[in-house]
Amino acid sequence: MTGKRYPGYDVQSKRQTSSWNEPTRRAIDERLALPREPRFFNNLEWEILNAACARILPQPEDRAPVPLAAMVDAKVFSRQGDGYRDVRLPPLPQAWRCGLAAMDAEAQRRHHRSFVLLTADQQDALLHAMQRGELKDPTWGDMPAAVFFSHRLVNDITHAYYSQPAAWNDIGFGGPASPRGYVRLGENSRDPWEAMEAKPGLERKVSEVNRRVR
C-alpha cells in the first residue's frame, strides 16, 4: 500500500509560497529535468540497472515513475562520489560496472538467463543472496558482493528516490522550508502547509484538504 497515507498532497504545490526559495526551485527543476537516457552505462548495463531499480525501489502504479536509473547514471557519469570509499570497493564508476556485470553473471549461473529476463521473485532471491554475502562469482573480483549491495546498489538507488518530491509526498514530508519553517512543533500538530494524514476511510476528505495545502 503506497502513497495513500497522504492522498492529494504535493510538496510542489508550495513552490510559489514562502516555503520554497529560489535556490530550491532551481535545484528541484534541475533534478526533474535530468536526461532520461544513459550517458555512462551501455545498453545491457542500463537494462540491468533498470531491472534492479524496480526491485530495490518498487514504485506505485498510479503515477509516473521517478527515473531512478537515470539518476544513478548521472551520479556515476559525473563521478559524484560520497567523499570517501570503503577500501573494499573500487572507485564509483568501476564499482558499478563490475557490480552490474557480476549480477548478470550470477543470474546466468543460477538461471542461465540474464538478470533482466528473470522473474521478480528470482531477481529478489538473487538480491537477498547478494545482501547476505553468498554470491562469489569470479566476476566480482576483489569487491565483496554484500558491500557492493549495501554501499552502492541500494545506497545510490534509494538516495536517488528519496531526493525526489514524489517520494516526499508519499511519506508526508513537509518538504522545502525556507524562509517559512514551522510553527506547531508538538505531537499530532500540523501547520496548514503540511500534509494531513488520512486515517482509514477518510482518504477523500483528507485528499481535499491536502490539495489545498499552500
Task: Give 27 or 117: the residue with its C-beta nearer to other proteins.
Answer: 27
Task: Give 20 or 41: the residue with its C-beta nearer to other proteins.
Answer: 20
Collect all residues with Cβ–Cβ distance below 8 Å to 52 and sequence separation of at least 6: 100, 103, 115, 123, 127, 153, 157
92-121 residues in contact with other proteins (CB under 8 A) are none
**Is residue 122 involved in binding other proteins (CB under 8 A)?**
no
**Is residue 154 involved in binding other proteins (CB under 8 A)?**
yes
Among 70, 74, 143, 177, binds other proteins (CB under 8 A): 177
Nearest approach in angstroms of CB 166 to other proteins is 11
DSSP symbol at 66: P
Nearest approach in angstroms of CB 4 to other proteins is 9
CA distance 73 to 38: 6
**Is residue 150 involved in binding other proteins (CB under 8 A)?**
yes
Say if residues 46 and 69 touch (Cβ distance below 8 Å). yes
Report CA-CA distances (Å) from 136 to 32, 53, 96, 142, 201.
Answer: 38, 22, 17, 10, 49
**Is residue 21 involved in binding other proteins (CB under 8 A)?**
yes
Tell whether omega for the bond before 179 is within 30 degrees of 0, i.e. cis. yes
* Amino acid at the residue 127: L
Q: Which residues bind other proteins (CB under 8 A)?
A: 1-2, 5, 18-21, 23-24, 26-28, 31, 55-58, 80-88, 91, 124, 127, 131, 150, 154-155, 158-159, 161-163, 167-168, 170-190, 192-194, 197
